[in-house]
Amino acid sequence: EPEVTQTPSHQVTQMGQEVILRCVPISNHLYFYWYRQILGQKVEFLVSFYNNEISEKSEIFDDQFSVERPDGSNFTLKIRSTKLEDSAMYFCASSSGQGAHNSPLHFGNGTRLTVT
């Protein structure tokens, strides 16, 4: 069964550095998302992406964050000037052409980001 893949599985970075988290969504999906889960807390929506542009972003997704689909297969999340509170598990997800209102989201296994 097709799956969403994320790399790396674990990323350690120093405060103030920039990180890029990478995702390969399911190939025929058209909607892409990033979520995060701080340890012990709920999974939180960051951003949705469709037709090469952001559909919606949460309050968390400020100017520190950006997303890009640089080619036909990858979907990236860039975090600039990382802070300690950015430490979390970051999940990429995708859904089919019907979108999340009508079809389930498929999640990757996540990238654990640790900011020291």
Partner 1 sequence: KQEVTQIPAALSVPEGENLVLNCSFTDSAIYNLQWFRQDPGKGLTSLLLIQSSQREQTSGRLNASLDKSSGRSTLYIAASQPGDSATYLCAVIYYGGSQGNLIFGKGTKLSVKP
Shortest Å, Cβ 25 to partner 1: 12
3-state secondary structure of 84: helix
Distance CA 115, CA 112 (A): 10
Shortest Å, Cβ 15 to partner 1: 24
Shortest Å, Cβ 16 to partner 1: 27
Among 11, 22, 24, 50, which residue interacts with partner 1 (rule: CB under 8 A)?
A: 50
DSSP percent split of the chain into helix, strand, coil, nearest 5: 5, 50, 50
Which one, 9 or 17, has the nearer CB to partner 1? 9
